[in-house]
Amino acid sequence: MTLNEELAQMKKTFDAHTPMEAQAALSRLIREQQESADPFGLPVGQKAKDFTLQDALGRSVHLYDELAKGPVVLTFYRGGWCPYCSRQLKSYQQVLSEIEKLGAQLIAISPQSPDATLSQIEKEELRFHVLSDRNGLVAARYRILYDVPFYVQDIFQQGLGLNLAEYNATSRWILPVPSTFMIDESGFIRSAYVNPDFMKRFEPEDILSELRKL
What is the DSSP annotation of 118-151?
Answer: HHHHHHHT--SEEEE-TT-HHHHHTT-EEEPPHH
Q: Can you give the pLDDT of all 214 residues of the chain as single tens digits? A: 999 999 999 999 999 999 999 999 999 999 999 999 899 999 999 999 999 999 988 899 999 999 999 999 999 999 999 999 999 999 999 999 999 999 999 999 999 988 788 788 877 788 999 999 989 999 999 999 999 999 999 999 988 899 999 999 999 999 999 999 999 999 999 999 999 999 999 999 999 999 999 8
Instruction: Provide the whole-model pTM.
Output: 0.95
Domain range for 14: 3-213
What total of structural domains would you count in the chain?
1
Return the pLDDT at 121.
Answer: 80
Q: What separation in angstroms does the CA of 88 have from each of 36, 83, 125, 146, 172?
A: 25, 9, 13, 21, 25
pLDDT score at 156: 93
Q: What is the pLDDT of residue 125?
A: 83
H helices within the chain, ranges in order? 3-17, 20-34, 63-67, 83-94, 96-101, 114-124, 137-141, 150-155, 164-167, 204-213
The CATH number for 59's domain is 3.40.30.10
